Structure 1
Amino acid sequence: MARLTRVQQQARTRAAVLVAAREEFIAHGYAAAKVDRIAERAELTRGAVYSNFPGKRALYLAVLIELVELVDGVAPAQAAQPSAQPPARPPARPPASLADALGAFARTWLERLPLVDDTAAGGRLQLRSLVGVFDDERGRAALAQLAHVEALLLGLALESGVPGEAPGRRVRLAELVLTLLGGAGFLAETAPGFGDPFDRARACEHLARLDLADRWEPSYLPYVAPAETCREPWSPPAGLTDLLTGEPVDLGADGLVAVLGAGRLAAAEEAVRSARPGDRVTVVVATDDPAETGSLVRLRVRDLAACLRAVFPPESWQRLRLVVDGGAAVASAAGLAAEGDEEEAAVRIRGGAIVARGHGRGAAHAVSTAPITPTVGPSRRTEA
């Protein structure tokens, strides 16, 4: 047998570590799990584990991401048991009404609830529980910002994926639904067996009747600094994947590219609402911590996207792409200075060139509303 290449051996080692880590988390839970025991289960050294994952939290997130991919019927990059994958869900048909959409989404989300006879640790894994995992300020801030992104994604699906409904923003409705479902998940973890999932799904259906007077009118937009207009070469990195569809992202297409740190993810809605008609919107989550912060974003977005794809047709969010950039490659290509978790910047792309660039709060709005002069030379700058 030919010797394994270094890449193949690394992939096998990573897969073995993930299998062992999942067994450890099911047996002991996150808090009591030990990296030493994971290494023993995988018949590897502690160093081999740390060469693939920087710590227990990164390992736990990787196990959860693999679980989400298996449930979604998507083959993980290093799946240890590909034959165990369930069949992919059939393509979703448009919901008949807003209430129908909310009920179908809730039922899909509630499939994660553990059974009464599941172990406590195994049930937490099934729930994708992050209780006690991110107890530091940076992690809690990232989770709060991700909650805004999740509400935006569900809100956009409710706005465009339900035919016959009156137009309007539905992000506040999405927030209520996700709050109800999140509470159901927490109760399933702390008080297993309490409540009826079908009652919760029906409750989500009834939320469609609420008139929340939802409007998109940020008070700060009139005071946003104007964007810099320009015409500069745009050579974006390749190999990035859209977390919503699992497909490669073409950053060279015309549209808006918003680069956001983990502490500014709520600005994703501004990018979507401010974009000009027909513009593709790409939200790039920039992080210097791909193993933890980047994995957290991948986990939460992929998990929600799997539920959305089971209910809404793909065109419900066809204008939006969401990617994670753990190496600041996109920011560098756009001529942006990396600013960590508080980064908020945007560029507008037209004809393979950067034609507007904005920094700070309201950057996406500034870039989208900037006047563009088609005849500007390759390196000249014009006033916004």
Structure 2
Amino acid sequence: MVRLTRAQQQERTRAAVLAAAREEFAERGYADAKVDRIAERAELTRGAVYSNFPSKRALYLAVLVDSIEHTAAAEPPSPPGLAAALSAFARVWLERLPLTGDTPAGGKLQLRSLAGVFDDEPGRTALAQLTRLEALLLALALEPRAPHHTRRVRLAELVLTLLNGAGHLADAAPGFGDPFDVTLACEHLAGLDLADTWNPPHLPYVSPARPVQDAWEPPARLPDQITAHPAGFDADGVIAVLGSGRLEAAEEAVRAARPGDRITVAVVTSDPAELGRLVRLRIGDLTGCLRRVFAPDAWPGLRLVLDDHADIASAIGIPDIDDTTEAAVRIRAGKIVARAAGRGAAHAAATAG
């Protein structure tokens, strides 16, 4: 008889809970699913479920995260041009739409619907910030295809608005709307002149980063959510630690970066089980689409790391984190040479001398 190690047993238990939860959510939906029934399906105790997932919401998010980690194989990169890229991205994104014959609960799971899951202020704030970060990531992939490589964040926001609107309609009224029409509409959005500029009014008033000469001991490599490869922390550049309520500040580092800088955003949260999984779900979903549409050399140059255990935050000397955390450092020649904290910290570190 083969004895399982404690870690192996825990992984087996977790897999059983996820499989049972997937069945329960697919049959009954999030609102009507019960943890007791999930435990019964998995032939485990209620306590065993809660020892792996602290809430039904955390368990639902874990099921969705697990589903995006088994995405389809990469497709050939889309042809050059902004319109072609938007068309290809829309086609991949719209694959999640439920079919007319799907059950309501099964369709929501297929759609990765969060309707009714986050109705509290921290969750709504995180979702708003995540949507801004998603738009930035999509824009960074589109901008090399745009004339003069101009900013395309407003275009990305409009595309995501259209696609998410199609998703919400498919959730509420299955079968309504034609995905081919939505794809064509996204393609035509490339021709809009949205007069997109980058000029946040608060940035001229941000305090400069503080010059330092501190030792830099990078944490163990964590996966980069964009490339799915380990993220290295030894290159010169900027590391910004942002709470789930301040993710929009990522663009402040990106736009202020110097040629050759590596920009890394480490996302932290006070609630890894729920808000942390929400970040992992939404970013994993978006970057999974990007990897299927764009060739690797066109992926966003930003490095994005989910710092669930605050390893990066601790390494750069941030003692306390919460969802409003905003701090950044500049790394040069293996040392921390500038520090900034508070609103505008990412911009301050990126522009530090």
- Regarding TM over 0.5, the answer is yes
Q: How many Å separate the matches in 1 of 2:255 and 2:94?
A: 30
1:1-384 to 2 correspondences below 5 Å: 1-70=1-70, 72-73=71-72, 88-90=73-75, 92-160=76-144, 162=145, 165-317=147-299, 319-371=301-353
The C-alpha deviation readout for 1:115-172, integer Å capped at 9, x for no partner, is 1100000000000100000010000000000000000011111002x3x733200000
Q: How many Å separate the matches in 2 of 1:317 and 1:369?
A: 24
TM-score, normalization: structure 2? 0.98
Native 8 Å contact 1:97 1:165 kept in 2? no
| CA gap 1:318/1:135 in 2 versus in 1, 3 angstroms | closer
Q: How many Å separate the matches in 2 of 1:100 and 1:312?
A: 11
AA partner of residue 286 (structure 2): L
Q: How many Å separate the matches in 1 of 2:292 and 2:308?
A: 29
Q: How many Å separate the matches in 2 of 1:239 and 1:207?
A: 39
Q: How many Å separate the matches in 1 of 2:160 and 2:134?
A: 8
TM-score, normalization: structure 1? 0.90
Q: How many Å separate the matches in 1 of 2:321 and 2:311?
A: 13
Q: How many Å separate the matches in 1 of 2:35 and 2:329?
A: 43
Larger mean Cα displacement after TM superposition, 244-253 or 277-286: 244-253
Deviation at 1:318, TM superposition (A): 5.1
Q: How many Å separate the matches in 1 of 2:277 and 2:139?
A: 23
Alpha-carbon RMSD across the aligned residues, in angstroms, is 1.2
Deviation at 1:94, TM superposition (A): 4.7
Unaligned runs of 5+ in 2: none
Deviation at 1:3, TM superposition (A): 0.4
| CA gap 1:318/1:213 in 2 versus in 1, 3 angstroms | closer
The C-alpha deviation readout for 1:292-316, integer Å capped at 9, x for no partner, is 1111111001101111111111222
Provide the secondary structure at the position in 2 that maps to 1:281. strand
Native 8 Å contact 2:224 2:305 kept in 1? yes
Unaligned runs of 5+ in 1: 74-87, 372-384
Native 8 Å contact 2:126 2:245 kept in 1? yes
Larger mean Cα displacement after TM superposition, 244-253 or 31-40: 244-253
Q: How many Å separate the matches in 2 of 1:235 and 1:218?
A: 33
